[in-house]
Structure 1
Amino acid sequence: MLRWNGVGVVCLLLAMLIQAVVADEVKPSPTEKVPAAKVKEFKDYLHSRVAPPGHIAPRDEGYVITEKRLKEIQNELMYWYFDQGGDNNHGDYQTTIHSSSPQGNKNFTFKLPFFGFSFNYTRVNLNGYLEFSDPPEHYTYPLVFPIKEWPNKNDPSFIGVFFSKCRIGLLSPTDADQRMPGVYYRVESNLEHRTDQFGVEVRERVLRDIREGNVGAETFIPKHVVIVTWKNVSFAGGIASSLHKTNTFQMVVTTDEVTSYAIFNYELITWTTHTEAGGDTATGLGGFPAFIGFNAGNGTQSFEYKPYSQSPKIWDLTSHGCGNGLPGRHIFHMDKQIMPGKCN
């Protein structure tokens, strides 16, 4: 049996007291919150199907992007789009846009200068464009803008990345990208104040892409970015098997509310036109290919992106480009006049 003298008991009690003090210093109290700036969890949204939080993170999050990470992001042709997460677990996917309801109305919390006008809203259309005013009831081909019959006939204001009648195609189980076919829409705003990871990465990527791709954009800082993606869309009027013939393309619109730019990204083109424009019902080839370009509306001015628009050279959209040295990327300055970016 151990025997303790007075000195031993004092030493034991002193050791226990020191241990308790040290433990209390190291362990936070139950009510203490660890500052957000100290917990910087990195997430690779670039390769994720799950959308980031829809709110603007607090300013003290303090994410700083590295040059290595920025180059990794810039090497990708397509910008982010997500089919999971968000309020309804659909991410950016527009469940209400389909063949029988091809359009969705969107309001901006900012002003978008476009081709001499300014808009705080848009309409996302399945048929490959963003629209700002009503179209005519019928089109004749090849498409010609502005419409000379205005104001007796509507002359729509739009940004056309692949203006053609589309429908949502089918996805093969063997496709590497299993995100749902259809239309995706995302807005990121107030980017100049964002310090959360996703906000910083969007801002710095757009900033670098626009500055590298346009003469005179050396001081541009994006405040707002709209990303619209048409994934695996087929052509209207085709037979059932043609739903496997799909295109994937994307439009990125950015502004500081004074200057505006558009980035067109073309990842996949397997068809060029719909059947009303003379396309084959099985292949979507022949006839008049899609219109690529911009129309100011109200009978004012337009810009058709030649030599690609409504031409057999439309196939070259995926292999050529103006901006950032990426095949398939085409950049435009578009607030007052439409000017293509630097060509590669």
Structure 2
Amino acid sequence: MFYPYGNPFHDHLLPPNDDDSSSEIHISSSFPFFNTSHRSLFVNTNGDLTFLSALSSFTPSPFPYLQNTQIVAVYWGDIDTSKVGDIWYRETTDSVLLQKASSEIHTVFPQQSGFNASWIFVTTWSKVAFYGSNSIGQRMRNTFQCVLVTDGMHSFVIYNYYKIQWTSGTSNNGTNSAGFGSQVGFDAGDGVNYYVVNGSRTPMLNECDGQVCLHNGTCQDLDGLSTWRCNCVSGFTGTHCETDINECHSSPCQHHGNCLDLLNDYSCHCMAGFTGKDCQIDIDECQSSPCMNGATCRDKNNSYTCDCQQGYVGNNCQIDIDECQSNPCYNNATCIDRTPGWDCACLPGFTGNQCTIDINECHSFPCQHHGNCLDLLNDYRCHCMAGYTGNDCQIDIDECQSNPCMNGATCRDRNNSYTCDCQLGYFENNCQIDIDECQSNPCYNNAICIDRTPGWKCACLPGFTGNQCQIAINECNSNSCRNNGTCVDLINGYRCHCSNDSTGQHCEHRLDHCSSHPCLHDGSCINNYGGFKCECKDSWFGDICEERQTNDSEGCSVLEYSECSCFTQQSKQTKKSIKMLIGSIGCVIGLLFTILSYCAWMMLNQSKSDRKIYPHEATILQHEVFQESKNVKKSAQSSQRINKLHESRLRKQKQQKEHHNCFLDHSGFDFSKLYVNEDGSRKILKCRHQRIQNDI
């Protein structure tokens, strides 16, 4: 019976190839092979497993093979899977498969009844073809399987074969449709220890090689391919003739007879009144002619009756009424009238002329096994020693019949006792105590220890993993924090520390720097990392579209403020420009007003010399605004500073609209750039007014 394999059982698939091998496969259990325990192996295309190194040889060489080449040759031949066939392999500790492997080993090797598999490695060559097969040979496939089994100390190898339709490839002197010479066995690689199945490296293998037929059964190779049969001797059955047939199973004993199973036979202990092989014969009690003096006997079930001739009485018509009236016979014996005289017919258990002697039935020592015999009337009774029963103490009581051994233990019957061979993880007389492997507290981080048989298992709290829950799970491995957020691992969780430009549980939301509508004069706001950018309309410019460009042809009517005194320098008048005279008068008046205003301002603020502002410094504002914008972009708090700049601009504009007059002196210096705030501080503000170009 093949072990399950393929994709549904999560097997690994060896890629299609010719004469190739798997990479080194590290296994979870140590596998003893002769005198070496291995922790890795190789699956080779050509029908074998090896330890220590891979094997690509397609020629099945005789054993012993090369030194230090340890081989498990399942069907070592020239296999080619580049066109057809699959090679599957996996290791498993599935409890059902472990029990299956253990049962098969117990059946074939009864002396290994205590073996319990803990690990198996299943390798299956499914429908593989030989190298060089033609269109006919391509349809000839072999399917076979190797199962490595161990309990950590002992190891077994199970070979399973389904269909064997070829034995070798063309490179080993085979034909295009068949071949010869595959090797089956194993080699320790030391030149001494090896085993070869009879018929290996010949054109056809005998399927009976390696098969065990128990109890003198004989193996028969049925078709020369993969089918065989054990022909069992009478009394046994089963695949390997391992089962003793219970001939009493069919209840052959009739009339309530008791059946005793024997080897290829049975014996019936019949009820009184019956006899025969199967107690099928009703004993004719009249056959012995018990009725006397011409009496007629009538047979009954385990008895009879006598119809006496006239003048005789008694059960057997044995009593002559006259001679026996004095009752000469004792112990209930029957008196037989004679002529002359009488005879006493003693009851069973008595003897003597008058039946006075009690026969001692214990004289023949019927009680076996040192039983004590008690003589009874026509009978005896045996008082048996402990551990025995039966009329003659002939039956050894099977103390295992009551199934005293618990938890899967094996019961061994002894004289008036029994012993239990416990499974791993149990002890005491009846194996009733489960060893608590959790007493050593193997689990870490407050995990719950679950006792197993054998072993233990840790139920980890959320956030931990590992056989002993010793590994804290790093939830940050999933990279859940976005936008350059920093992940901080917690127990069964994590926390994202977001950068200044993102927010949210996973830093998935970017900050909207445009939410305060910082761009003035219908400017469009573009949200960026670390800040925003304004795209201004028409002639507006600046970081938040707070500046406006004007050309020299514009007059005061297009300027922002309603209170504006505009003056120009004197220019050469023409006949057509009467406005120049008006402008000159305006300049004189503006100059006088400027001087008076400036003197009054200096007198009011002469004590605050550290805040003195000189006219030649009045042109620095625009430069400072742009310089500040550059510095803001370079700082870590650029967004906040730009927002503050935006708020400051709005306050300036409001103040300018409420308090500002714009005029020029004769030198062209715009004193409106000097502005005193309501709190007494001084700032240099840019006057938005332009000079009016004289008409020519």
**Same fold flag (TM > 0.5):** yes
What residue is the counterpart of 1:284 in the other structure?
Answer: 178
Gap change, CA 1:93 and 1:240, over 3 Å in 2? farther
List gaps (5 residues or longer) in structure 1: 1-76, 86-90, 172-180, 190-198, 331-341
Is residue 2:159 matched to residue 1:264?
yes
Gap change, CA 1:134 and 1:240, over 3 Å in 2? farther
Q: Write the letter of the residue equivalent to 1:214.
A: F
- Select between 272-281 and 224-233 the one with higher mean Cα deviation: 272-281
Is residue 2:207 matched to residue 1:317?
yes
Q: Secondary structure at the match of 1:108?
A: strand
Structure 1 Cα separation of the partners of residues 150 and 80 of structure 2: 30
Structure 2 Cα separation of the partners of residues 267 and 290 of structure 1: 16
Q: Is the 8 A contact 2:13 2:87 kept in 1?
A: yes
Is residue 2:13 matched to residue 1:81?
no
What residue is the counterpart of 1:133 in the other structure?
Answer: 52
Structure 1 Cα separation of the partners of residues 163 and 107 of structure 2: 24
Which of 86, 101, 118 is 1:182 aligned to? Answer: 86
Q: Is the 8 A contact 2:19 2:58 kept in 1?
A: no
Q: Is the 8 A contact 1:296 1:302 kept in 2?
A: yes
What residue is the counterpart of 1:294 in the other structure?
Answer: 186
* Runs of 4+ displaced beyond 6 Å: 135-141, 323-327
Q: Secondary structure at the match of 2:159?
A: strand
Structure 1 Cα separation of the partners of residues 30 and 202 of structure 2: 33
What residue is the counterpart of 1:212 in the other structure?
Answer: 107
Q: Secondary structure at the match of 2:100?
A: helix
Structure 1 Cα separation of the partners of residues 15 and 157 of structure 2: 25
Number of aligned residue pairs: 223
What residue is the counterpart of 2:116 in the other structure?
Answer: 221
1 or 2, which has the higher strand percentage? 2
RMSD: 3.3
Which of 80, 84, 88 is 1:167 aligned to? Answer: 80
Give 1:240 shift.
4.8
Give 1:215 shift.
3.7
Identity of aligned residues (%): 23
Which of 222, 226, 247 is 2:142 aligned to? Answer: 247
Is residue 2:26 matched to residue 1:107?
yes
Normalised by the size of structure 2, how large is the TM-score? 0.29
What residue is the counterpart of 2:600 in the other structure?
Answer: none
Alignment of 1:49-88 (within 5 A): 77-84=1-8
Gap change, CA 1:105 and 1:259, over 3 Å in 2? same
Give 1:136 shift.
7.7
Q: Write the letter of the residue equivalent to 1:292.
A: V
Structure 2 Cα separation of the partners of residues 128 and 210 of structure 1: 23
Q: Write the letter of the residue equivalent to 1:166.
A: I
Please identify the structure whose Cα radius of gyration is greater.
2
Structure 2 Cα separation of the partners of residues 253 and 221 of structure 1: 13
Q: Is the 8 A contact 1:268 1:318 kept in 2?
A: no
Structure 2 Cα separation of the partners of residues 329 and 263 of structure 1: 16
Q: Write the letter of the residue equivalent to 2:92.
A: E
List gaps (5 residues or longer) in structure 2: 229-239, 243-696
1:208-249 CA distance string (max 9 Å, x none): 111011142100000101111000011112235522211000
Is residue 2:63 matched to residue 1:145?
yes
Q: Secondary structure at the match of 1:204?
A: helix
1:294-320 CA distance string (max 9 Å, x none): 0111434221111x3123441x32898
1:41-97 CA distance string (max 9 Å, x none): xxxxxxxxxxxxxxxxxxxxxxxxxxxxxxxxxxxx111102246xxxxx3141435
Q: Write the letter of the residue equivalent to 1:284.
A: A
Q: Is the 8 A contact 2:19 2:46 kept in 1?
A: no
Structure 2 Cα separation of the partners of residues 136 and 99 of structure 1: 12
1:233-285 CA distance string (max 9 Å, x none): 1111223552221100001110011110111011001111112221112x223
What residue is the counterpart of 1:53 in the other structure?
Answer: none
Q: Write the letter of the residue equivalent to 2:105.
A: I
Structure 1 Cα separation of the partners of residues 183 and 45 of structure 2: 14
